[in-house]
Amino acid sequence: MRYVKHASFKGRLVVLGFGSIGKAVLPLIFRHIDVTPERVKIISRSADKSGIAQEFGVDFLAQPLDEENYEAVLDAHLSEGDFLLNLSVDVSSLALMMFCWRRGVMYLDTCIEPWPGRYADPGTPLSRRTNYALREDVLAFRMDKRTGPTAVVTQGANPGLASAFVKQALYDLATDAGLEFDRPACHEDWAVLARKLDIKVIHIAERDTQVARRRKRRGEFVNTWSVAGFLSEGLQPSELGWGTHEKHWPEGAARHGYGCDAAIFLDRPGAATRVRSWTPLEGSYHGFLITHGESISIADHLTVREDGKAVYRPTVHYAYHPCDDAVLSLHELAGKNWEKQKNARILRDDVTTGIDELGVLLMGHEKGAYWYGSRLSTQQARELVPHNTATSLQVVAGIVGGMVWALKNPRSGVVEPDDLDHDAVLDVARPYLGELVGVRDAWTPLRGRTDLFKEDIDAGDPWQFLNFRVA
């Protein structure tokens, strides 16, 4: 089968990290980017036992990077015009970005990682352990870097495609409502459109139903993507973009007191904070309010300011129902006071059934709720691209969409998913997202509540965060 080459690349490509996402992305890179295996190098903590690097004829260097050695190691493999794709954990994204900037190397990552220790040190103030703080550090770095080698930060599925889904959903709702509007050309235009549509709340609403042949064992953390990555973000303070319509200040919440002020954080981990949400196939569910970059960047990009004051912003957050064995893993983890399990397992070839239903749920407008996103089964994912599950394929579709955008826009400076042309990204990603659908529903977080127990709710306004949060 012949595949469209979306971009051609004559430089060298270094893939840093070769875990579940690194392995999943390799086939898609060669399928859609015109680059030969001799120009690709993988650098990762430990040797590749899967044989996948060898299968694609790509050179592999087993070398952990740390604060002392990363420049020396990378200097041997990257110079002006090359590309660094960061798919590792525990290596500072900002350090890599700065390294690439100085050398004229393009860059893409899927989240903003710090060096090890920052999330886990109780001596670090809560605000500094958030994604808000990590993003603010990147925004400070980019102050004078609006041109120059392109660095795309946080471009996977979520963060990443979620920002493109939000724009597509806004576009659909505006068209459906018969609104007269020009195609938004910048984030201020998208914010004005969101305000016009009266979007009050946006969830990144995900229900992963994948199940493997071997179920979770005691003392084991099971997930469909990085266990290390999920543990880190799950134990960060819970965070959400904070909407201008909110009337009830959440218990244990705080503002940061610096930066864009689009988000707040709670004094508890996301792995212990649950919210009500909805996806079309699952219906209503309880998800974890895990911190994610897109909760902050989408809220920030959709803020309307008048005389410097925020007059419109939706509440934005993740409502993640991971696969059932990951929920059991979180439950066990919490019971052991967050002491990590001895064993970790990332599901891939042993998944027998299930889908990842991943989209954005826009609420508060006249239609009630509108979910737009991807539903993809592992079965479909395997037929589309080897070495994948539903989860990994959604992520790598976003990565390759972002890489193609970067290669076509190589001098755009530091950009977030919200800054990219969502049509261009979705054009590349769409064939790998299964059913990409928009579904309307009258769901609200108050629907179907029973009177068995008294609850602290705001019955007059369903779109208050108070009504979503599970007490």
Residue ranges that bind ligand NAD, judged by CB under 6 A: 16-22, 44-46, 64-65, 87-91, 110-111, 113, 156-160, 225-226, 228-229, 346, 395
Supply angle C-alpha 154, 417, 173, rounded to 5: 135
Which helix (H) or strand (E) segment is 403 a member of?
A: helix 390-408
Closest CB to ligand NAD among residues 159, 364: 159
What are the tokens at 182? 């020009």
* CB-nearer residue toward ligand NAD: 91 or 406: 91
Residue 67 CB, shortest distance to ligand NAD, in Å, is 10
Helix/strand number for the chain, H first, E second: 14, 25
User: Given the complex with ligand NAD, which of 150 and 226 has the nearer CB atom?
Assistant: 226
CB of 234 to ligand NAD, least distance (A): 11
| CA-CA-CA-CA torsion sign (459, 462, 465, 470) | positive
Could you tell me if 29 and 55 are in contact, meaning their C-beta atoms sit under 8 angstroms apart?
no
Q: Is the peptide bond before 114 cis (omega within 30 degrees of 0)?
A: no
In the complex, the smallest distance separating the C-beta of residue 177 from ligand NAD, rounded to whole angstroms, is 30
DSSP assignment, residue 432? Answer: G
DSSP 157: T
- Cα gap 360→441, rounded to integer Å: 13
How far apart are alpha carbons 384 and 407 in whole angstroms?
24
Q: Residue 314 CB, nearest distance to ligand NAD (Å)?
A: 21
Task: Identify which of residues 153 and 193 has a Cβ nearer to ligand NAD in the complex.
Answer: 153
Residues 297 and 112 sit within 8 Å (Cβ to Cβ): no
CB-wise, 16 or 164, nearer to ligand NAD?
16
Minimum CB distance to ligand NAD, residue 409 (Å): 20
* CA–CA gap between residue 231 and residue 234 (Å, rounded): 5
C-beta closer to ligand NAD: residue 112 or 262: 112
Q: Could you tell me the CA-to-CA distances from 384 to 1, 185, 213, 306, 376 in Å, in that order?
A: 12, 33, 21, 47, 11
Partner residues linked to 205 by β-bridges = 319, 359
> Closest separation between CB of residue 111 and ligand NAD, Å?
5
Query: Which residue's CB is nearer to ligand NAD, number 44 or number 374?
Result: 44
Residue placing its CB nearer to ligand NAD in the complex, 369 or 395 = 395
152 strand-pairing partners: 108, 415
* Least distance in angstroms from the C-beta of 64 to ligand NAD: 4
Distance in Å, CB of 453 to ligand NAD, minimum: 36
Q: Which residue's Cβ lies closest to ligand NAD?
A: 19
